[in-house]
């Protein structure tokens, strides 16, 4: 499942339409559609907004990794630091995740 598909699944689980989410996060509907189709990639700040709106960890949106409450404290600290990464760091992580999925 690719990044955009996870965004769509999250939106649908919240019972929201694209036009509603686009208005809430302050983008054009075609921009949100582009995120979900994989045509566009959202900025880190937009990823954070979407994760907060959908009430899911940003890690899930980026990689599909589900983080449980039983995750070790060290891992929770590491995952909490993700929101402070630069856009280039996020791109590197996405590339690495995709390469790992291919192996």
Show the domains of the chain with their CATH numbers: 3-102 (1.10.260.40)
Q: What Å distances lie between residue 2 and 39, 60, 71, 76, CA to CA?
A: 12, 11, 24, 24
Q: List, for residues 29-59, the tens digit of each pLDDT value.
A: 999 999 999 899 898 889 999 999 999 988 8
pLDDT of 103 strictly over 70: no
Q: Which of 42, 46, 55 is nearest to 3 (CA)?
A: 42
| Both tokens assigned to 22 | 């686009």
Maximum C-alpha span of the chain: 39
| Both tokens assigned to 16 | 């929201």
DSSP for residue 70: T
Alpha carbon 97 to chain centroid distance?
Answer: 13
3-state secondary structure of 26: coil
pLDDT of 7 strictly over 70: yes
Q: Which of 55, 13, 51, 57 is nearest to 35 (CA)?
A: 51
Q: List, for residues 53-100, the tens digit of each pLDDT value.
A: 999 988 888 888 776 555 455 555 555 555 566 677 777 777 777 777
């Amino acid at each position: 499942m690719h990044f955009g598909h996870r965004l769509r699944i999250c939106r649908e689980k919240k019972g929201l339409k694209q036009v509603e989410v686009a208005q809430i996060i302050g983008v054009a509907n075609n921009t949100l559609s582009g995120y979900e189709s994989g045509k566009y990639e959202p900025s880190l700040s937009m990823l954070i907004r979407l994760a907060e709106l959908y009430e899911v960890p940003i890690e899930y949106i980026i990689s599909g990794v589900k983080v449980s409450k039983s995750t070790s404290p060290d891992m929770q600290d590491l995952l909490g630091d993700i929101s402070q990464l630069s856009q280039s760091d996020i791109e590197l992580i996405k590339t690495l995740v995709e390469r790992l999925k291919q192996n």
